[in-house]
Amino acid sequence: MDKARNIKLMLPTNWDPTLIRRIAPFAPEYIYGSLPAEATLRPAFVLSQASEEDVAAHIEEAARHGIRFIYVMNATCLGNKEYSEEGRGQLLQRLEWVAEIGAAGVVTANPFLMELVREHFPALELHISVLASVDDPRKAKFFEDLGATVIHLDPQVNRDFRRLEAIRKSAGCRLSLVVNEGCLLSCPIRQYHSNMISHSGESIAGRYYVDYCYYQCSLKKVADGAEYLRSPWVRPEDLGVYEDLGIDLFKVAGREKMGEGPSSHTDWIAMAAGAYQARRCRDVAQLLVGIQPPMSLMGDAPKPLDVRIDGRKLDGFLRFFREDRCSLDCESCDYCGRWARRAVSIKGRSGDCAEGLAADLETIRVGSYRSGR
């Protein structure tokens, strides 16, 4: 394989008017995003604001650079509203608008919505969200038969090479991996988290929104640094391994704003794109989403933790997984722990951070707070 060829990337957008020219040198195939009010796997308040006119102008600018846009509609639960006359009509109106403004397609986890796309808007590409949890050949074939253009595989199979090979053999559509997810490996509350955020608009409006799951996961990672290494991200230097398996596209997660204003994380998006396009990064942690602890329930900034993952010290780490030796029984295996002691460093008062997270979780359990969101 020609290691000099460009990686096929799918990047998040934050609607910053300067973003397209910043990422154009990396030649991404797609960018993706949604209106903040759209029911997706990101609460509205963590996304940069954009109007329908802003989105249309952004898509037009991207097209001038040969970059296609995918609109995000990946809520895992719509409360069955999609089956009501009003809800179905709203979905069709949204899809009509998406098509009219020149979007290349939509990404969704809802099979009913997929059927609406194929029936009424066949020109739109149909991207299957990671939240559809495609992790085996049977699921891949199901969604391919529904008309999938691209299946974004469940990140939990990123290091299950036997499973990846089987999926590739079974599916003729394009396959994509999310490369920078910092979530817990085989997270037991992932589905609950997805459903919870899908309904976050209601709880934000009612002022009782709280991301319980993120507090839980953050506490586990702070308590055990090996969790940062177990997370199913892909090191830029290892992309060739996945290309050889037949993976077509690599998606960078990270629509969440990192400060005020639409440009709050333009630098980060460009940095992540550059690292994966160059197939090189010294500190993998700077590419990852979901590794920093949340704000306290009282709105205080989290105790600062400087997590670093030295990519230069991870040559050979993937071999264990390519040899199909991972059983996901982390209690009886210290493989990732040994590599973490070599490559992961955490600076800051992790003990204080853990105490704060534990205290916030207890407050959530007791119910003695009122969300200011």
User: Per residue in 149-204, pLDDT tens?
Assistant: 999 999 999 999 999 999 999 999 999 999 999 999 999 999 999 988 888 777 77
For residue 354, being part of any structural domain is answered with: yes
What pLDDT is recorded for position 269? 95
For residue 26, being part of any structural domain is answered with: yes
SS3 of 173, please? coil
**Residues paired with residue 127 on neighbouring β-strands, in sequence order:** 107, 150
- At 72, is the pLDDT very low, low, confident or very high (cuts 50, 70, 90)? very high
What pLDDT is recorded for position 99? 98
* CA distance linking residue 172 with residue 145, whole number of Å: 10
Nearest to 47, CA basis, from 255, 205, 211: 255
**Residues paired with residue 176 on neighbouring β-strands, in sequence order:** 152, 249
Give the whole-number percent of the chain exceeding pLDDT 70.
92
For residue 211, being part of any structural domain is answered with: yes
What does 306-369 look like in DSSP terms, one character per residue? EEEEBGGG-TTTTHHHHTT---S-TTS--HHHHHHHHHEEEEE-HHHHHHHHHHHHHHHHHT--
Q: How many domains does the chain have?
A: 1
What pLDDT is recorded for position 209? 81
For residue 117, being part of any structural domain is answered with: yes
Q: Token digits for 119?
A: 């029936």
Reduced to 3 DSSP states, what percent helix, strand and coil does the chain have, rounded to the nearest 5?
45, 15, 40
* Helix (H) / strand (E) containing 74: none
Look up residue 41 and give its amino acid.
L
**Residues paired with residue 12 on neighbouring β-strands, in sequence order:** 32
The CATH number linked to 331 is 3.20.20.70
What pLDDT is recorded for position 372? 46
Q: Which of 177-181, 205-209, 219-223 has the lowest mean pLDDT?
A: 205-209
- At 1, is the pLDDT very low, low, confident or very high (cuts 50, 70, 90)? very low
For residue 372, being part of any structural domain is answered with: no
What pLDDT is recorded for position 293? 84
Centre a 10 Å sphere on the Cβ of residue 228 and count the other Cβ atoms it contains.
Answer: 24
Would you say residue 95 has pLDDT above 90?
yes
For residue 39, being part of any structural domain is answered with: yes
For residue 310, being part of any structural domain is answered with: yes
Q: Structural domain of residue 70, as residue ranges?
A: 9-366
For residue 335, being part of any structural domain is answered with: yes
What pLDDT is recorded for position 47? 61
Burial 68-90 (b: 16+ CB within 10 A, else e): bbbbbbbbbbbeeebeeeeeeee
DSSP tag of 283? B
* CA distance linking residue 267 with residue 273, whole number of Å: 10
* Helix (H) / strand (E) containing 177: strand 174-178
For residues 161 and 44, the model is more confident at 161
What pLDDT is recorded for position 352? 86
SS3 of 204, please? helix
Whether the CB-CB separation of 199 and 79 falls below 8 Å is answered with yes
